[in-house]
Structure formats: structure tokens, C-alpha cells
């Protein structure tokens, strides 16, 4: 098989860089990339965490995910800017359109990361040349910097783009693996998170190289499929394809941290209704049906639990899914103070695949019509144009968070 030519493009400090570019365009005099700054959640809504940081904030020891309170303690002149999904979407699309000039085999791995399969798109010039060109053009034409990883599979390209930042191009070919990644702490490996790293440490595995040379069978015995995966990754093995065709989602959900903890089934049910409306609106937009509904709760002391239920027949009806969600809630809720409520639909399938149920009665037809006409209005006048009278107050809480 032909050797694959893969790039991974990763926007440096994406949320912060994009905010900086947007602000400069608006005439803001400071480039927030040049000062100790972070993009943060909203502390009043109890989501005050660091989402992205500038290099100067990083130099103070600020890390992504920590509370703004902690970040300020490390960096007393820290500037905090709010997050805006709309801006991110705009610049993400600009980058994507630039990358389309190089190949149409692009996988949008997240809002700020893409994989490019360049295997059949190098008539003149090398993969490394293209990487350098993309790196240069992003900065010059779009105003923000990217790291580009150059390799023969996705895993190595991704590891490569994570080397020195910002605004760099790095290669990670098979013969460079021992020299470039085997000395790194094992936690740097993609798919090795905070739970597994201590376990590996206790087995004497401290670096990626230690993991690569460890007995694969023992890892499989201890960690199952994940053990096989991380051993292969440590050795640079990855056959996965660049998934350039947009896939339909397998699950769709929304959750919200409440402004204050609440208690009582009825109050929580109102939140569940508002969330269900959001979720079913999104499912219908994709022409999907849900087969499984789940409800997630987080108690005030951060204990998460969730229950789920399979529907007797697939549905995207707000009423049907809400009824199920409410049943689940009634079963699982034990009367604690609740901090976060979530509703998720899983096992989504295409609307056209649905076989007509015997129970497709006039009532559910009526519900479908109601949903359809509400969606029409929401699409025309904005999501918040139409609100159920009963959930007005809750809608205020939930809609304040909506991204679009």
C-alpha cells in the first residue's frame, strides 16, 4: 500500500487568537495575544473556568480548565475575555476554506483542528513544503498562527503538531519516533488521560518509550482494548482513515449548570423540558430520530449520575421525549440539591429509516405538526422567538447560554 501523506493543522490558542483577531478588526488597540489574558466562562453563571490562555498567561502558570479565581491568583494583572462560539465558527470556516485549496480530504476533528489526507494531492512539491505554505498563509492571510504536524498517519501528525508552539511545522516520521517522542512523559501520548497515567507509573512506565517497549499482552490484559490502543500509539501505529465526509452525529444532548443549586422534582422537570426542547429541535434539524433518552444530574457536591431508557419506537417529538425524560427523572431523583441538569438522546437514526409504527396514531401526528410549526418559526425568527408559557423563566436561564 502507498504510504499515506497526512497533515494535522492545529490553531494556536484558538479561542484566544480568534478573539484577538476579531477585536483588532473592531479597532481594539490591544492585541490580547501579547498580554497575560485568557478566554473564560461566566463566573456569575458558575462556569468560571479558563478556556484558552495567551503565552504570557501560560508563563504565569495558568492552565486550561482551572477556575478563573485560581488563574487570577497566579497572575494578578490577568485580563479575562468572554467566549463567543459565533466568532470561533467564523474563523474555523475561514481556515477550512483555505485548507480546501490543498485537498478536499479534510477531517474537521474539532473546531480548531483538521486532518488533511494529502496522499493523492502532491503533484509538485513535498508534504513538508505544503505544510510550511499552510503555516505561512494562515498567519499572513487569516491573521492567526497554526502548528502543522507532518507524518504518515494521523496519530503521528497529531503528536507532531503538539511539539514546540506557536507557529511551527514539525515532522514525525517513523524513523524519528525514538528520538522525538520516546523520551516524553507517558501522559503526553494521545488518549492517555489522568486516570491511566498513575496506573502506568505504578507499573514502572514513565515515558512513551517505556510504554512502547512494554509487553503488549500484559497491557491488553490490564486495560483491554485501550491497552492495545496505547501500546500501538506509543509505537506510532495507527491505520485510521481521514474521515472527510461529515458524519451524522450518534448522540445529541444539552446540559446546563444552574445559576443556583435547586431541589425538587417539579423544578428540575422544568429545566428538563427546556433542555428537551433544545435537544429535539437539534435532532429534527438533522432529520434524525432518537432511540434512547438519558437524563444526567450533578449534585451540589459534584457527584454525577445518569439514567437512560430505550424508547419503544424512535422519535424526535418534544412531547414524547420529554415524557420519557420525566419518567427517568422521577425514577432516579433522590431529593438532593442539584447543580447541573442534562438531557441527551442516543442511538440516533435517519428519519427515513423509521418503519411506520402501529401506534403512529392521530395524536402523534398532531404532535409532529406542532413541532414542525414551532421549528419553522424558530428557524425564521431565531430560537428564542417561540417559548412555551410554562417554561418562560427556565428558558431565560437556558437561552442565555445558547451559542447561536
Partner DNA sequence: TCTGGGGTCCTAGGACCC
**What residues act catalytically?**
113
Query: Closer CB to DNA, residue 306 or residue 379?
Result: 306
Told to check if 178 binds DNA by CB under 7 A, we report: no
Told to check if 310 binds DNA by CB under 7 A, we report: yes
Told to check if 69 binds DNA by CB under 7 A, we report: yes
Query: Closer CB to DNA, residue 127 or residue 348?
Result: 348
Told to check if 251 binds DNA by CB under 7 A, we report: yes
Provide φ and ψ at 31, rounded to 5°.
-90, 110
Q: To the nearest whole angstrom, how small is the minimum distance from the Cβ of residue 250 to DNA?
A: 4
Q: To the nearest whole angstrom, how small is the minimum distance from the Cβ of residue 129 to DNA?
A: 26
Told to check if 17 binds DNA by CB under 7 A, we report: no
Integer angstrom CA distances of residue 37 from 13, 28, 71, 299: 11, 15, 10, 32
Buried b (16+ CB within 10 A) or exposed e, 280-314: bbbbbeeebbbbbbbbbbbeeeeeeeebbeebebb
Q: Is 288 left (phi over 0), alpha (psi -120 to 50) or beta?
A: beta
- Binding footprint of DNA, residue count (CB under 7 A): 56
Told to check if 41 binds DNA by CB under 7 A, we report: yes
Residue 185 per-residue DSSP state:
B
Q: To the nearest whole angstrom, how small is the minimum distance from the Cβ of residue 45 to DNA?
A: 7
Told to check if 43 binds DNA by CB under 7 A, we report: yes
The contact mask relative to DNA for 152-171 (x = CB under 7 A, - = no) is ------x-------------
Distance CA 127, CA 86 (A): 32
Distance CA 165, CA 12 (A): 7
Residue 222, CA atoms < 13 Å, CB-side half-sphere: 14
Select the span of 135-143, 304-312, 357-365, 369-377 touching DNA (CB under 7 A).
304-312
Among 132, 136, 282, 388, binds DNA (CB under 7 A): 282
Told to check if 113 binds DNA by CB under 7 A, we report: yes
Query: Closer CB to DNA, residue 93 or residue 126?
Result: 93
Distance CA 213, CA 368 (A): 58
Q: To the nearest whole angstrom, how small is the minimum distance from the Cβ of residue 268 to DNA?
A: 15
Q: To the nearest whole angstrom, how small is the minimum distance from the Cβ of residue 227 to DNA?
A: 8
Strand 251-262 relative to strand 338-346, pairing: antiparallel
Between CA 74 and CA 28, with CA 50 as vertex, the angle to 5 degrees is: 95
Distance CA 354, CA 347 (A): 13
Told to check if 396 binds DNA by CB under 7 A, we report: no
Between CA 99 and CA 106, with CA 103 as vertex, the angle to 5 degrees is: 70
Query: Closer CB to DNA, residue 55 or residue 220?
Result: 220
Distance CA 293, CA 314 (A): 10
* Interaction residues for DNA, span 182-211 (CB under 7 A): 190-197
Told to check if 111 binds DNA by CB under 7 A, we report: yes
Only one residue has cell 475561514, namely 94
Q: What is the binding site for DNA (CB under 7 A)?
A: 41, 43, 45-49, 51, 65, 67-69, 72, 109-113, 158, 190-197, 224-226, 249-257, 282, 292, 294, 301-302, 304-310, 332, 340, 342, 344, 401
Amino acid at each position: 500500500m502507498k504510504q499515506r501523506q497526512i497533515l494535522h493543522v492545529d490553531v494556536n490558542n484558538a479561542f484566544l487568537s480568534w478573539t484577538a483577531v476579531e477585536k483588532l478588526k473592531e479597532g481594539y488597540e490591544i492585541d490580547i495575544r501579547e498580554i497575560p489574558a485568557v478566554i473564560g466562562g461566566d463566573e456569575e453563571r458558575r462556569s468560571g473556568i479558563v478556556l484558552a490562555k495567551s503565552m504570557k498567561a501560560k508563563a504565569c502558570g495558568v492552565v486550561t480548565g482551572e477556575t478563573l479565581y485560581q488563574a487570577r491568583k497566579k497572575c494578578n494583572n490577568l485580563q479575562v475575555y468572554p467566549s463567543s462560539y459565533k466568532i470561533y465558527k467564523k474563523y474555523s470556516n475561514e481556515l477550512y476554506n483555505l485548507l480546501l485549496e490543498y485537498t478536499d480530504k479534510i477531517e474537521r476533528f474539532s473546531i480548531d483542528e483538521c486532518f488533511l489526507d494529502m496522499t493523492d494531492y502532491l503533484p509538485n512539491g513535498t508534504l513538508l513544503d505544503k505544510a510550511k505554505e499552510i503555516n505561512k498563509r494562515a498567519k499572513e492571510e487569516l491573521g492567526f498562527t497554526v502548528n502543522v504536524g507532518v507524518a504518515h498517519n494521523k496519530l503521528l501528525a497529531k503528536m507532531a503538531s503538539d511539539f514546540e508552539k506557536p507557529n511551527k511545522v514539525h515532522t514525525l516520521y517513523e524513523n524519528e519516533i525514538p528520538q522525538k517522542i520516546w523520551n516524553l512523559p507517558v501522559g503526553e501520548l494521545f488518549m492517555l488521560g489522568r486516570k491511566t497515567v498513575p496506573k502506568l507509573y505504578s507499573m514502572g512506565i514513565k515515558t512513551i518509550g517505556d510504554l512502547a517497549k512494554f509487553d503488549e499482552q500484559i497491557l491488553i490484559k490490564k486495560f483491554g482494548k485501550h491497552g492495545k490502543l496505547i501500546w500501538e500509539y506509543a509505537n506510532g501505529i495507527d491505520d485510521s482513515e481521514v474521515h472527510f465526509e461529515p458524519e451524522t452525529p450518534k448522540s445529541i444532548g444539552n446540559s446546563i449548570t444552574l445559576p443556583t443549586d435547586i431541589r425538587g422534582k417539579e423544578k428540575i422537570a422544568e429545566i428538563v423540558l427546556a433542555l428537551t426542547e433544545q435537544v429535539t429541535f437539534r435532532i429534527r434539524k438533522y432529520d434524525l430520530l432518537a432511540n434512547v433518552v438519558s437524563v444526567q444530574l450533578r449534585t451540589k457536591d459534584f457527584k454525577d449520575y445518569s439514567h437512560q431508557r430505550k424508547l419503544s419506537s424512535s422519535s424526535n417529538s418534544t412531547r414524547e421525549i420529554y415524557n420519557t425524560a420525566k419518567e427517568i427523572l422521577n425514577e432516579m431523583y433522590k431529593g438532593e440539591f442539584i447543580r447541573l441538569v442534562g438531557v441527551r438522546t442516543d442511538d440516533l437514526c435517519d428519519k427515513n429509516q423509521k418503519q411506520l409504527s402501529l401506534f403512529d396514531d392521530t395524536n402523534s401526528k398532531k404532535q409532529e405538526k406542532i413541532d414542525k410549526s414551532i421549528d419553522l418559526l424558530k428557524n425564521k425568527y431565531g430560537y428564542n422567538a417561540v417559548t412555551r408559557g410554562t417554561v418562560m423563566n427556565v428558558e431565560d436561564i437556558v437561552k442565555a447560554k445558547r451559542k447561536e
